Amino acid sequence: MHPRVVLIASLLIAAVPLRAQPFAAPRDSATRVLMSRLATLSADSMEGRRTGTPGSTRARAWLVQQLTAMGAKPVGASYEHPFRMRPRGAGAVDSITAVNVVARIPGRAAGGRALVMSAHYDHLGVRNGEVFNGADDDASGCIALLTVAEQLLRTPPQHDVILAFFDAEEMGLQGARAFVNAPPVPLASIAANLNLDMVARQDAGALWVSGTSHYPFLKPVAESASKTSGVSVRFGHDTKDLKPGDDWTNSSDHGAFHGKGIPFLYLGVEDHPDYHKSGDDADKVDPAFYARSVAFAGALLRALDKALPQIPPR
């Protein structure tokens, strides 16, 4: 991306005031940074981050700026991986360009298999004059990825970790499908996908882990990470006997990996009153719950990294 575009996006973002938090102000600096980033990515200036819009471009520029500043390396020549897609219900426009953002954290062991940690940065945009900011869905997952990336850069994992910020999830997982259909790394080298989508709202009191019914060998890995998480972790939402909408197997970007036979774990909360509504704002998030969820995501990634030799190759 041209440096001027990044600079303009940064200036626009810096001018947006943060909204007041209804919860107790974060006491530790890490949580304050977490919440500040969440408020930035889900600010009105991002215009709901709908794929193909100026708001999406601003959000993407901010993500690239963050990755560059922390020292994460792009996969290939650029962080940005564009692809053509057809929006749902496309009329006059046959296709648009969407863009995934992909970075790599090198592991201590050169080559070999890798883990993909993912979240989607797109949301619903502006509808009838209302901005759908998508703080939980899924700015929360993107900020978690940035936070875990900083930790991995300080203490490198054993295996490579690919950070994938997908576009067009809200239009049918199209960013993730583009990734697995034209992967920037050999598909056979991807051992597992850890996908985060909606990890900041604690209305139902728990963070769910899905995927272990399909890949039972991953359950002990997730259970070990949950023991010191500080957040209530539950397993499920991944079997066909559930009522429509309760099986999350294909509900987010992990579905594209599952379709290719790549094991996945998905972290998310159950729907809350602001799901896909204009009230999904950062000031609805309990900083303490969100910080614990991000800590669990980081611990789970570390546990997957440790267990990767035991994950069956495809």
| CATH number for position 46 | 3.40.630.10
Give a yes or no: residue 21 inside a domain.
Answer: no
Model pLDDT, residue 24: 62
In angstroms, the first-to-last Cα distance of the chain is 36
Token pair of 205 as six digits: 């009191």
Dist CA 122 CA 167 (whole Å): 5
Give a yes or no: residue 297 inside a domain.
Answer: yes
CA-closest candidate to residue 248, choices 260, 257, 259, 238: 238
Dist CA 141 CA 267 (whole Å): 9
> Could you say which DSSP state residue 309 is in?
G
Q: Which domain holds residue 58?
A: 3-16+27-86+96-310
The CA-based dihedral angle spanning residues 61, 302, 120, 137, taken in that order and rounded to the nearest 10 degrees: -110
| Full pLDDT tens readout for the chain, 314 residues | 433 333 334 433 333 333 334 556 667 899 999 999 999 999 999 999 999 999 999 999 999 999 999 999 999 999 999 999 988 765 546 789 999 999 999 999 977 999 999 999 999 999 999 999 999 999 999 999 999 999 999 999 999 999 999 999 999 999 999 999 999 999 999 999 999 999 999 887 799 999 999 999 999 999 999 998 889 999 999 998 998 889 999 999 999 999 999 999 999 999 999 999 999 999 999 999 999 999 999 999 999 999 999 999 98
State how many domains the chain has: 1
Q: Is 295 exposed, middle or buried (0-12, 13-18, 19+ CB in 10 A)?
A: buried
Give a yes or no: residue 74 inside a domain.
Answer: yes
Give a yes or no: residue 91 inside a domain.
Answer: no
Dist CA 202 CA 284 (whole Å): 10
Give a yes or no: residue 22 inside a domain.
Answer: no
Model pLDDT, residue 203: 80
Model pLDDT, residue 59: 98
Give a yes or no: residue 218 inside a domain.
Answer: yes
Give a yes or no: residue 202 inside a domain.
Answer: yes
Give a yes or no: residue 152 inside a domain.
Answer: yes
